[in-house]
Amino acid sequence: MPHKPKTLQRRVVARSRLFQVEAVSLRFANGVEVEYERLTPGTGSAGAVLIVPVLDDDTVLLVREYAAGTDRYELGLPKGRVEHGEEPLAAAARELREEVGYAARRLTLLRRVTLAPGYLSHQTQLVLAEELYPAYLEGDEPEALEVVPWPLSDLQGLLACEELTEARSIAALFIVREHLEI
Amino acid sequence: MPHKPKTLQRRVVARSRLFQVEAVSLRFANGVEVEYERLTPGTGSAGAVLIVPVLDDDTVLLVREYAAGTDRYELGLPKGRVEHGEEPLAAAARELREEVGYAARRLTLLRRVTLAPGYLSHQTQLVLAEELYPAYLEGDEPEALEVVPWPLSDLQGLLACEELTEARSIAALFIVREHLEI
């Protein structure tokens, strides 16, 4: 295991409502010094949850939602922010009701993933939601999300949809398909 | 298919060497107006490539690299920036030589993925590299990366490694395992 570089200096170089960019000066074990930039979510966020809602043992419920980052509608799994002090499963339960209109009798924390650990500190907890029942909760979405059911046994067909691009949704779908042995 | 929201205004609210944050005012088809923040890579970047190098039909070559975003060593697939005007496969060929020390007689573009399309515009092309031969190229890494071979047939064992967290690496490994029918 390599020896972690020593942080020589850290300073905030840019800040917006949601993001903060830090410049970090590091000295590696071999003496080489570099400066990197890393992005951290603004204060108030404790990471995100991504939920895989499975209905009737095989049907996964996705949402079609406008994505400001890519400026298009994207097909993906429901997700949301975890607030400070909130349990990831509580956040998952809330987002599932708001985005998909279901509650789950069983929520299982599967694993933690990162997006681009080289420059983002962001963490996402993947959550499996099973034994679903209708329980819509009004959220803060600007428009109702379209819920798109898909058989997990046809993951290849889903991956061929041009609207599904999000790596953490794709990873979560594979992980759940293995988990459920579909 | 929903009608895309209309962009009312876009302005840069924060900028650093690598990142740019834009505030975007949108009006949804139902008349609701919101302001979102989106992050775009600085100028000079045309996205990223993530390479899945496969040796001897089953052995995937990963790298252990210090990740400034999470401030720890992470296990993941080799990757790098695509420069403006550069072909993704040319970027993949370069990064493979620099990070893993191999060149490939066969590079295949698998698909494009996004990281968090809700607020990041970032795109990554996944590339399969096969028929490898040693061809190290000096890169700009501050220290040599440790190359970690792993049998793709034991993807479950790899996913159990606490150091592997990156969603796009996990997605790429599953996609290649299906593609190669391992």
A59 with A125, same domain: the answer is yes
- The string over B144-160, giving b where at least 16 C-beta atoms fall within 10 Å of a residue's C-beta and e elsewhere, is ebeebebebeebeebbe
Q: Is B143 on the interface with A (CB under 8 A)?
A: yes
How far, in Å, CA of B76 to CA of B53, rounded?
Answer: 11
How far, in Å, CA of A119 to CA of A137, rounded?
Answer: 35
Domain presence at residue A71: yes
ipTM over 0.85: yes
* Range of the structural domain that residue A158 is part of: 45-180
- Give the residue with greater pLDDT, A25 vs B141: A25
Domain presence at residue A1: no
The 3 state secondary structure assigned to chain A is: CCCCCEEEEEEEEEECCCEEEEEEEEECCCCCEEEEEEEEECCCEEEEEEEEEEECCCEEEEEEEEECCCCEEEEECCEEEEECCCCHHHHHHHHHHHHHCEEEEEEEEEEEEECCCCCECCEEEEEEEEEEEECCCCCCCCCCCEEEEEEHHHHHHHHCCCCCCEHHHHHHHHHHHHHCCC
pTM beyond 0.80: the answer is: yes
Q: Is the pLDDT of residue A54 over 80?
A: yes
User: How many CA atoms does the CB half-sphere of A15 hold within 13 Å?
Assistant: 5
A149 with A81, same domain: the answer is yes
Closest Cα in chain B, distance from residue A5 (Å): 8
Closest Cα in chain B, distance from residue A100 (Å): 17
**Between chains, do A115 and B113 touch, taking CB under 8 Å as contact?**
no
Tell me the average pLDDT of chain B.
95
B53 with B31, same domain: the answer is no
- What's residue B121's pLDDT? 93
User: How many CA atoms does the CB half-sphere of A159 hold within 13 Å?
Assistant: 23
A115 with A33, same domain: the answer is no
pLDDT tens, position by position, A71-113: 999 999 999 999 989 999 999 999 999 999 999 999 999 999 9
B88 with B28, same domain: the answer is no
Q: Return the SS3 of B149.
A: strand
B37 with B49, same domain: the answer is no
Q: Which of A17, A72, A76 has the CB atom closest to B37's CB atom?
A: A17
Q: Is the pLDDT of residue B81 over 80?
A: yes
Residues 2-21 of A with CB under 8 A from B: 2, 4-5, 7, 13-19, 21
- What's residue A45's pLDDT? 72
A70 with A145, same domain: the answer is yes
Closest Cα in chain A, distance from residue B141 (Å): 10
B13 with B79, same domain: the answer is no
For A75, name the nearest residue in chain B, comparing CA atoms only: B117
Q: Is the pLDDT of residue B4 over 80?
A: yes
Q: How many domains does chain B have?
A: 2
Residues 148-167 of B with CB under 8 A from A: 156, 159, 165-167
Domain presence at residue A124: yes
Q: Which of B70, B74, B48 has its CA nearest to residue B62?
A: B74
The structure tokens listed for B176 are 């290649």
**Between chains, do B167 and A165 touch, taking CB under 8 Å as contact?**
no
Q: B118: which chain A residues are within 8 Å (Cβ-Cβ)? A: 65, 67-69, 74
Proportion of chain B above pLDDT 90, given as a percent: 90
B107 with B26, same domain: the answer is no
A27 with A49, same domain: the answer is no
* Residue with token string 């993704």: B88
Q: Which of A54, A58, A62 has its CA nearest to residue A128?
A: A54
pLDDT tens, position by position, B57-72: 899 999 999 999 999 9
Residue A44 banded pLDDT, cuts 50, 70, 90 = low
- What's residue B44's pLDDT? 65
Proportion of chain B above pLDDT 70, given as a percent: 98
Q: Which of A18, A29, A113 has the CB atom closest to B167's CB atom?
A: A113
pLDDT tens, position by position, A109-153: 999 999 999 999 999 999 999 999 999 999 889 999 999 999 999
Q: Is A136 on the interface with B (CB under 8 A)?
A: no
A115 with A164, same domain: the answer is yes
For residue B174, give the CATH number of its domain.
Answer: 3.90.79.10
Q: A168: which chain B residues are within 8 Å (Cβ-Cβ)? A: 115-116, 167, 171
Q: Is the pLDDT of residue B95 over 70?
A: yes
How far, in Å, CA of B115 to CA of A58, rounded?
Answer: 26
Q: Is the pLDDT of residue B1 over 70?
A: no
Q: Is A67 on the interface with B (CB under 8 A)?
A: yes
* Residue with token string 């970047």: B45
Q: Is the pLDDT of residue A1 over 70?
A: no
Backbone angles phi, psi at B169, to 5 degrees: -65, -45
Domain presence at residue B1: no
Q: B37: which chain A residues are within 8 Å (Cβ-Cβ)? A: 16-19, 68
A119 with A84, same domain: the answer is yes
- Across A39-60, average pLDDT: 89
- Report the phi/psi class of residue B112: left, alpha or beta, with left for phi > 0 and alpha for psi in -120 to 50: beta
- Across A20-35, average pLDDT: 96
Domain presence at residue B91: yes
**Between chains, do A117 and B74 touch, taking CB under 8 Å as contact?**
yes
Domain presence at residue A163: yes
Q: B121: which chain A residues are within 8 Å (Cβ-Cβ)? A: 69-71
- What's residue A140's pLDDT? 87
Q: Is the pLDDT of residue B46 over 90?
A: no
